[in-house]
Structures are given as C-alpha cells and as structure tokens.
A and B are shown apart, each in its own frame.
Chain A
Amino acid sequence: GEDVEQSLFLSVREGDSSVINCTYTDSSSTYLYWYKQEPGAGLQLLTYIFSNMDMKQDQRLTVLLNKKDKHLSLRIADTQTGDSAIYFCAESPTSGTYKYIFGTGTRLKVLA
C-alpha cells in the first residue's frame, strides 16, 4: 500500500526536544521530506534527506533515516511555541511519477 504513518499528536514543554516519527512504505524512495503546516497556511518545506544518508542536521532540526526499518524521524531541539504546527513527512518514490506520498500529519503542541 501507499500509507505513510505518523502518530497524530505530540505535546512537549517549551525548551524540550520534540521527536516526530514517520514510517514510510517505498524502500526505493529517493528523497524523504519534512513539511510544516501552520494554521490557515500552506505546507512549508523544512528539510529533506537523500536516501543514501542516515542523518542530516540543519540548525535546530535533525533528521534520522533508518532505511532498513523504513523509519524517518525529525528532532526539533529547544522547541519553541512558534514550532506548534502540523508536521508532515513525505516520500518521493522513484517511479518517476512526481507524486509525493504524504504522511497523516503529526500535530505538535508546545506548552509554555
């Protein structure tokens, strides 16, 4: 199937780290992405990782990729209230159809 699974909710305290997990399905996916959606807005690309990498760091964001388990995670260090949003992972299958498969979304709530 084409289901990309994420847990629906995550709540953390301001200043703590957040870890958002994603399980994808297509082991041949070339790129895996993380998007952020704030209320009433479109999706904003946060970061991506190429499938031959197992880690990528970008300021407060760390992406970990476990290809064997088809597991992707996004760690946000020093989480702020402005990080409250829905986070989507997405996979880009190598079938050449340009179609990204988005996860179900994780709603992150940061408590002050």
Chain B
Amino acid sequence: DTAVSQTPKYLVTQMGNDKSIKCEQNLGHDTMYWYKQDSKKFLKIMFSYNNKELIINETVPNRFSPKSPDKAHLNLHINSLELGDSAVYFCASSQTGSGYTFGSGTRLTVV
C-alpha cells in the first residue's frame, strides 16, 4: 500500500486551463505539504496543512489554492495555468520529528 499517493502522475495541459492534483496519505500523519521542484531540481515549499489548518503559505500566486477536506488529503488546484507553472509537484506528509514521506510526484507540463 502506497504511503503517500498523488494523482495524476503526469499532466499535460494548455495555458489558461484549470487543473487539480490530488494527494492522500495513509500514515496517520498530522501535517501535509506541497513542494514544487523546478527543472534544476530545486525544491521549494508552497503550502503546509496541519490537521486541516493552513500553517504555511509561501509566496505563491493566488492561482494556486490548496484544499484539505480531512487530515489524510491535501489537494492542489491551479487556475489559469501558465508556462512557468511547468514543474514536478510533490506532496509530502510528516509527524513531528519523523522526517517527510514524499509522494512520487506529478509532472505538470503547460503547453
């Protein structure tokens, strides 16, 4: 059973479209995250939720909106997609001091 699962794995879409990425964890962790990895492999945090409450919201365009219906799920919705949004998006979860467990990533390509 996959601990942190993201769907879809690949997403190719046109500029201006709206898309969502879903994430689920079955580890019972309280905290979930979205990270963006650019083409140079640089990882930057976007959002973090703890028990469904937003605790980290980095400087991310308003077009990105996270939603956490319960502590096992954290989805990412992106409006009006732009070329610069192309990247790999990673979901992760953690419990205090345990280190992150990452999903396998969603490669988003905007054309």
Q: Which of A30, A102, A107 contacts B43 (CB 8 A)?
A: A102
The A30-45 residues at the B interface (CB cut-off 8 A) are 30-31, 33, 35, 37, 40-45
Q: Is residue A20 contacting chain B, with contact meaning CB distance below 8 A?
A: no
Q: Is residue A13 contacting chain B, with contact meaning CB distance below 8 A?
A: no
CB-based contact B41/A43 at 8 Å: no
The B15-58 residues at the A interface (CB cut-off 8 A) are 31, 33, 41-43, 45, 48, 50, 55-56
Query: Which applies to chain A's interface (DSSP): helix, strand, loop or mixed?
Result: strand
CB-based contact A97/B102 at 8 Å: no
How far is B34's CA from A1's CA once the two chains are assembled, in angstroms?
Answer: 22
Q: Which of A30, A41, A97, A105 contacts B105 (CB 8 A)?
A: A41
B residues contacting the other copy or chain, number (CB 8 A):
22
Q: Is residue B79 contacting chain A, with contact meaning CB distance below 8 A?
A: no
A residues contacting the other copy or chain, number (CB 8 A):
22
CB-based contact B104/A41 at 8 Å: yes
How far is B45's CA from A99's CA once the two chains are assembled, in angstroms?
Answer: 7
CB distance from B38 to the nearest CB of A (A): 11
Tell me the nearest residue of chain B to A46, going by C-beta: B99
CB-based contact A86/B41 at 8 Å: yes
Q: Which of B41, B55, B92, B104 contacts A97 (CB 8 A)?
A: B55
CB-based contact A100/B41 at 8 Å: no
CB-based contact B102/A43 at 8 Å: yes
Q: Give B contacts to A, CB under 8 Å.
A: 4, 31, 33, 41-43, 45, 48, 50, 55-56, 90, 92, 94, 97, 99-105
Known: A45-B99, A100-B100. 14 other contacts (CB 8 A): A30-B97, A35-B100, A40-B105, A42-B102, A43-B100, A88-B43, A98-B31, A98-B33, A98-B55, A99-B56, A104-B42, A105-B41, A105-B42, A107-B41
